Amino acid sequence: MKLLRELKNTNKFSESENHIAGYLLEHLDTLSNLTLNKLAAETFTSQATVNRFCKKMGFRGFSDFRLKLSQEAALSQRVAVLPTENLIDAADSLNIISGKISSYFISAIEETRSSLDLIQLERITERIMSSKRIDYFCFDDNFYIAENITSSFMSAGIHTLSFSQSNLQFLQSIIIEPNDVAFIFSKSGTNKKLIEIMKLLKAKNIYTVLFTPVLDSPLAMLAEEVVYVVNNENFLDLGYSLFSVSLHYLLTILAEAILAKNTKKAKMIDQVYSDIAEKFY
């Protein structure tokens, strides 16, 4: 959601550019019908001003800008379509519960897949491959997701680092290497410790990737990349389980994408590991 966040950053724009940004943010649902002429007329600017604005945002012109903004707007307005009839009920048998959970988890993965920004994931993959290490910043149950996926990234040849203690995570954010990639996991996007950590990372120009269901949270405003994760806030509706399934799916996609690009190194790692394992297991 980088483009949407940049449009909200009024300090970087001139008065006429703020008129353009404000109009776009107020009319996200009608972007498909928006033309260059109309945007210029509605914001009392000119076609040349709009085109300069689009180029300032990193695009070749209005058409490219509108396409990307439309994609981000669609994702930001997306609500997880999870079957409400699958809620667990006190009268449910184990057979019914197993079926409902299966349906719920499949729905979470399908919702995550339909929301994927493949260009963004490719960009993240390339940054990871050119980095020294992935540093995880997350607390409580989210930490165990980081631990669980660590072997997948390391098997693909990527170093990772994670600590469960908050004081060590603060130290980690202070001494992090410039070429590291930071992964941040947050269900709410409002964790005060993570916000302070993110500020430290941002001050060091660290490439930060936030995985969260809340795309307009304080953490999202600070992150370089924001990746949408499915969630349901109601604990009785398997809320955290859905978040875990969605997040693990996303991380596995990234790990396997790197593995596919790093096949030779991954095979070497697997062979050495297998030789050592044979001695002890």
In order along its 281 residues, the chain shows pLDDT tens digits of 568 878 887 788 999 999 999 999 999 988 988 999 999 999 999 999 999 999 999 888 899 899 888 877 876 665 444 554 546 777 889 998 888 888 888 888 988 888 888 889 999 999 999 998 999 999 998 999 999 999 999 999 999 999 999 999 999 999 999 999 999 999 999 999 999 999 999 999 999 999 999 888 899 999 999 999 988 765 455 657 889 999 999 999 999 999 999 888 888 988 898 888 888 76
Residue 19, domain extent: 2-76
Calpha distance 165→144 (Å, rounded):
12
Q: Where does a domain end: 76, 98, 126?
A: 76
Residue 95 located in a structural domain? no
Q: Identify whether 175 is part of a domain.
A: yes
Give the C-alpha distances (Å, rounded to integers) separating 104 from 53, 60, 79, 228: 43, 42, 15, 18
User: Is residue 92 a part of any domain in this protein?
Assistant: no
Residues 69 and 124 in one domain: no
Q: What global pTM score does this model have?
A: 0.74
State residue 183's pLDDT score.
98
The pLDDT of residue 75: 67
- Is residue 136 one of the residues assigned to a domain? yes
Domain shared by 171 and 252, yes or no: yes
| CB count in 10 Å sphere of residue 111 | 19
**Residue 108 falls inside a structural domain:** no
Where is the domain boundary, 46, 76, 106? 76
pLDDT for res 239? 58
Is 142 among the domain residues?
yes
In terms of domains, do 47 and 168 share one? Answer: no
Quote the CA–CA distance of 265 and 78 in Å, as a whole number.
39
Domain count, the chain: 2
Q: What is the pLDDT of residue 79?
A: 45
In sequence order, the 6+-apart residues with CB closer than 8 A to the CB of 171 are: none
Q: CA–CA distance from 122 to each of 126, 162, 182, 261 (Å)?
A: 6, 23, 16, 11
Q: Are 228 and 210 in contact (CB under 8 A)?
A: no
Tell me if 65 sits within 8 A of 80, measured CB to CB.
no
> Looking at the domain assignment, is residue 91 inside a domain?
no
Asked whether residue 83 is domain-assigned, the answer is no
Q: What angle do CA 274, 278, 281 make, to 5 degrees?
A: 115
Q: How far apart are CA 126 and CA 166, in angstroms?
A: 29
The answer to whether 180 and 206 have CB atoms below 8 angstroms apart is yes
pLDDT at 76: 65
Q: Which of residues 47, 76, 105 is at a domain's end?
A: 76
Positive or negative, the CA dihedral 27, 46, 44, 6 is positive
So what's the pLDDT on residue 80?
44
Output the six-digit token pair for 110: 């399908």
Task: Please state, in angstroms and rounded to a whole number, the distance separating the CA atoms of residues 165 and 147.
Answer: 13
